[in-house]
């Protein structure tokens, strides 16, 4: 799904490069994770390396660059090298692989991620908010343009359509709610159950909130 950002410019195309819960281990994604304060610097590196536009999605489930480039191969190489440097070693022997998509495949992936079709628990609601936050940060840093804006609006519309016109949100819609449901099935009431949280990660804190809402009272971190 190519486009021309300017009259006479080389055709540009959509590019996705990153690691997600299907392709990599938690330990690898922890090493790849980019803090909010570092996002502008990473986006600047991507721009210098061939991306015309770019969004950085960095969550516990995925660290991915969603972008547009006139030279997709060069841009993908830049993103791949950046992620490998953050991993601090060989990615392929350190818990996963870097996924690279271009053109229609990249477009389908961005839309599927926004619609929570690529989530650990299909239908979870948090991912759309995470995508919108990443989009807003990139926009503030000057990393987006007409091509990515068009794609993101399509992705948001698709996500809304999926949640409105399918049964995707009728079951447990996050790993946390699925875990609470499983625990309740095993123990019944959670008021007399103790839990151990190993590491106060983003997902861990979300788990605590959901388990407390489910009746859990004793938690050790």
Compute CA distances 49 → 110, 115, 123, 134, 209, whole Å: 21, 29, 35, 20, 41
Taking the CB of residue 213, how many other CB atoms lie within 10 A of it? 12
60 part of the active site: yes
Query: What is the Cα–Cα distance from 195 to 216, expressed in whole angstroms?
Result: 8
Q: Quick one: which of 69, 49, 48, 46 has its CA closest to 58?
A: 46
Query: What is the Cα–Cα distance from 47 to 71, expressed in whole angstroms?
Result: 12
Candidates 60, 87, 147, 176; catalytic one: 60
Question: Residue 125's Cα: distance from chain center in Å?
Answer: 13
76: left (phi over 0), alpha (psi -120 to 50) or beta: alpha
Active-site residue numbers? 60
């Amino acid at each position: 799904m190519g486009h021309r950002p300017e009259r006479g410019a080389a055709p540009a195309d959509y590019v996705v490069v990153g690691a997600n819960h299907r392709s990599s281990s938690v330990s690898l994604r922890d090493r790849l994770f980019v803090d909010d304060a570092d996002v502008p610097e990473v986006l600047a590196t991507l721009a210098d390396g061939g991306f015309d536009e770019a969004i950085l999605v960095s969550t516990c489930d995925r660290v991915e660059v969603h972008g547009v480039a006139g030279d997709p191969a060069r841009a993908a190489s830049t993103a791949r090298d950046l992620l490998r440097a953050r991993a601090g070693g060989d990615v392929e022997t350190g818990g996963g692989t870097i996924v690279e998509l271009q053109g229609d495949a990249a477009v389908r992936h961005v839309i599927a991620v926004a619609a929570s079709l690529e989530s650990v628990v299909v239908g979870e609601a948090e991912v759309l908010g995470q995508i919108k936050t990443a989009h807003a940060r990139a926009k503030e840093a000057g990393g987006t343009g007409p091509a990515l804006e068009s794609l993101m609006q399509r992705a948001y519309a698709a996500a809304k359509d999926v949640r409105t016109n399918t049964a995707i949100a009728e079951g447990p819609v996050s790993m946390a709610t699925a875990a609470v449901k499983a625990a309740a099935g095993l123990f019944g009431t959670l008021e007399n159950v103790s839990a151990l949280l190993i590491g106060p990660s983003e997902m861990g804190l979300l788990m605590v909130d959901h388990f407390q809402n489910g009746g859990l009272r004793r938690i050790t971190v």
